[in-house]
Structure 1
Amino acid sequence: MTRTPAEPHFVPAELRPYLQEVVRRARAVCGSHLVSVVAVGSVALGDYRHGRSDTDVTVVVDAPLPARTLSDLAAALKHPAMPCPATGLELVVYDEEFAARPSGEGGYLMDLNTGPLLPSRLSFDPAESPAFWYVIDRSVAHRSGLSLYGRPPREVIAEPGRADLLTALRASVREHSAAEGHLADNRVLNGCRSLNFCRTGRWQAKRRAAHAVAASEERFRPLIAAALRSYERPRTDATALPVTDVQTFLTWVAERVDAACAAGRPAGE
């Protein structure tokens, strides 16, 4: 398989030099062990917004790397030594064997959060983190991941089973209901994305999912519209949303995700 970077026009212009440098440094540190580098999140779903979005990257290597190599990779990518132009970089490393099988586990070798607006975090133990973040990202990577280097995402990253995905969505909605560390607009839009997946079985960018939910749910339309307006603003300038309204909406979403989990199929209207 020829290993080449993604065509640059598929990557937002603001991120092209940065993601090219992420790939270059990953190759320099991991060498022949590097299998794939994949953009997920808003970049993969075509809804990256500069000043608001972070950039999510999944790295696959052909075997568990030594702790020293993983530490060297983290050091090579950390902001501000390598300035991140997005609000942050969320980079996860998996070994090829784990990535290739469906799983409801976290399963990472390394999880790095770094950037100007993202709390710094470095973990080498998946037991330290809720698994749902990684299950959802692997599903997005399998279905929509944008190849930055190496083998295509569908060849190396398995789709988690539906039951595991629904369990992950349930945990995600509850995490956002708790509100800690999440902007109100993102909590609402994440709820829309979760509900839309339960209804359709497809991942959509948060704003597109929000429009779909607003179209069918008149009672929540003003809240979703307010969340969308806020999401247009930089992360540092997000607007407040009514706390009770946000919680009511997320409770309603959680009930429908629970129904989808119980039924094992997309939730109805």
Structure 2
Amino acid sequence: MSVRIIRTQDWADPVPPARREVRTATPELPDDTKPPVLFVPGFGHGAWAYAEHWMEHAAGRGFAVHAVSPRGHGGSEPAPRATLRAYAHDVVQVAAALPHQAVLVGHGAGALVVAHALARYPARAGVLAAPVFGGWATLGLALRRNLFGTLPAAFGGRLRLTRRQLFSRDLPDPAARGYLGRIGHASARAQWELLRARPPEQPVGDPPVLVVGTPDDRVVPRTALDNVARRYGGAPLLFPGMGHDLMLDARWQEPLDAILDWLEKGDH
């Protein structure tokens, strides 16, 4: 495994600073044996997506948890020209400011952002939930299942995902509509970079990486889940019957408990 030491672009074209939203939930009884967890949302989502369920539940299990909204997302500063590199920069900056080495958890396209961040930050572990690593195969699936919501994104417009793509039928319609109404969009440049699918570099320090998802995902093909997991030396942990937005769907607790169990049982 090779790790890049010098990145010319970082000093020739540094990422500009931006105000970032970070939400935090802490356990009533801090447990120093458990690493802090930093949640990273996917495109269009913000820290709010984790604050709905996952943050308080993880804190209840003794983990200090944080969620960052990368620039242009949630309550962070608008950034209409942001790049994937800028999103990864935001994650690294927040993680580096935590008092202990953190676990990075990314969802959707946020999993790709975490994968890029892992090449720059020596995380305790990484978790890639329903990872969207891009490429034309993912675009083809999205076009087949949501032509009019996906096609504008290929030309710099806004990506609009449907209830059926994001959630299972078990999630009540009022909740689904509420979540859909809160979803924004990433920058056109970042969306285009996602389609180009530049593979992330190898993680610094070879941390363990867990891939979780659902075989019923209508955004991420099952083959893509297998490929991402294989890249990190494992197989995906699957939760049938769930939608793409694992942290918001009706059975949100199941994948989160599995992630926390994995962190507790492993040497992370």
TM-score by length of 2: 0.26
Structure possessing the higher relative contact order (Cα contacts under 8 Å, 6 or more residues apart) = 2
Structure index of larger Rg? 1
TM-score by length of 1: 0.26
